Amino acid sequence: MTIATADHPVSRRPIDGWRWAGRIFLTLLLIFTVMPMIWMLITSLKTGFAAMQYPPQWWPTEPTLGNYTRLLDPTNSVGQEFLRYFWNSLWVSTLTTILAIVVAVPAAYAFSRFRFPGRTVLFFAVLLRNMFPAVIFLVPLFILMRWLGLVNTHGSLVLTYLTFGLPLAIWLLKGFYDNIPIQLEQAARIDGATRLQAFLFIVMPLSTPGIIATAIYSFIGAWNEYIYAYTFLTRHDQMTLPVGIQRFFSENATDWPGLMAATFMMSVPVVVLFLVLQKYFVRALTEGAVKH
C-alpha cells in the first residue's frame, strides 16, 4: 500500500482518467438521446418541400411556425382533430394517475405495516404480472372489455392502464413506507390520534416524494401507450394522441413537418412534468431502495 508523504504524493491520474472517461461517455449518451428530439424540432419548422429535400438541411432557410399554428387552431379540421386527441389523452392519463394513487397508497401501506396470512404470497402475486409482456394480455383484456361493454370508451383504457401500472406503483410506495419509522406513528397514537389520522397527518406528508414519483410513472405510462389504445378505440372522437396522430397522418404520408410538430407537442407535457418533478422522482427511488 502506498503511503502519501510530502516526497511521495499519491497519484490521482488514474482516478481522474476514469472520471473524464465517464464524462465523455455521458456526453455521448446525452447527444445520442437529444439528437432525435432536435431533428424532430428542426423538421417541424420546415415547409413540406424543405422537409423532402436531399441532402437534408440541418436548419431551414425559411423557418416557419405554421405547422404549430395549424395544429392549435380550433377553426380548421386539423386543429380540431389534434386538440380532441390531446384532451382525450390528458383525460385518460389524469384519471389513471388519480385512481392509481388512490389504490396504490393504501395497498402499499397495508403491505408495509400490517402482518396478515398470505401477505408475502399476495405481494409477489401483485408483482407477478410484470414478468410478462403487456401484449400477452391484449386478447383476454379485449374480450373482457367487450363483455363489460367498455370497448370504444375511455374506461377500458383506464382499467387496462391500472392493471399494468399498479404493481410497480405498489412496490415503489411499499419500499418508501418501509423507510418511514413506525415510531412516528406510535408517538401520534400515544398523543390521541387514530391510525387514520396518523396516516393522513404523519405518513402521507413524509411519503410525498414517493406519491409524486408514482404519479409521474402512471401518467407517462398512460400518456405514451399505443397498443391497447389502438385496439380498444376505433371511434375518432375517442382516440388518444398516439393513435390519433398515427391514423391522421397515415392519410397524409408526405406531411412530415406536420407529423414532427404533432409528435414534438405530444412529448412536451411529459418532458416538462419530469423536469419539474424530477427531484421527487429521484428521491423516491433512492429512499425506497435504501434502508436507513
More confidently predicted of 228 and 55: 228
Maximum pairwise Cα distance, the chain: 82
Q: Are 109 and 179 in contact (CB under 8 A)?
A: no
**Average pLDDT, stretch 20-43?**
85
Instruction: Give a yes or no: residue 189 inside a domain.
Output: yes
Residue 203 is predicted with a pLDDT of 84
Domain that holds residue 172: 70-287
Residue 292 is predicted with a pLDDT of 44
Instruction: Give a yes or no: residue 32 inside a domain.
Output: no
Specify the residue for cell string 404519479: 215
Q: Are 163 and 141 in contact (CB under 8 A)?
A: yes
Instruction: Give a yes or no: residue 209 inside a domain.
Output: yes
Residue 97 is predicted with a pLDDT of 92
Specify the residue for cell string 380550433: 74
C-alpha cell at position 229? 389504445
We report the CATH number of the domain holding residue 274 as: 1.10.3720.10
C-alpha cell at position 177? 413506507
Distance CA 213, CA 284 (A): 6
DSSP 13-71: HHHHHHHHHHHHHHHHHHHHHHHHHHHHHHHHTS-HHHHT-SSPPSS-SS---HHHHHH
SS3 state at 284: helix
**Average pLDDT, stretch 89-97?**
92
Instruction: Give a yes or no: residue 158 inside a domain.
Output: yes
3 pLDDT exceeds 60? Answer: no
pTM of the model: 0.79
Q: How many domains does the chain have?
A: 1
Instruction: Give a yes or no: residue 254 inside a domain.
Output: yes
91 pLDDT exceeds 90? Answer: yes
pLDDT in tens, 221-278: 899 888 898 888 888 888 888 888 887 766 656 678 888 888 888 888 888 877 777 7
Instruction: Give a yes or no: residue 241 inside a domain.
Output: yes
Instruction: Give a yes or no: residue 12 inside a domain.
Output: no
Instruction: Give a yes or no: residue 39 inside a domain.
Output: no
DSSP character for 12?
-
219 pLDDT exceeds 60? Answer: yes
Residue 282 is predicted with a pLDDT of 63
**Each residue of 47-75: b (16+ CB within 10 Å) or e?**
beebbeeeeeeeebeeeeeebbebbeeee
C-alpha cell at position 89? 389523452
Distance CA 110, CA 195 (A): 12
Q: Other C-beta atoms within 10 Å of 218: how many?
A: 26
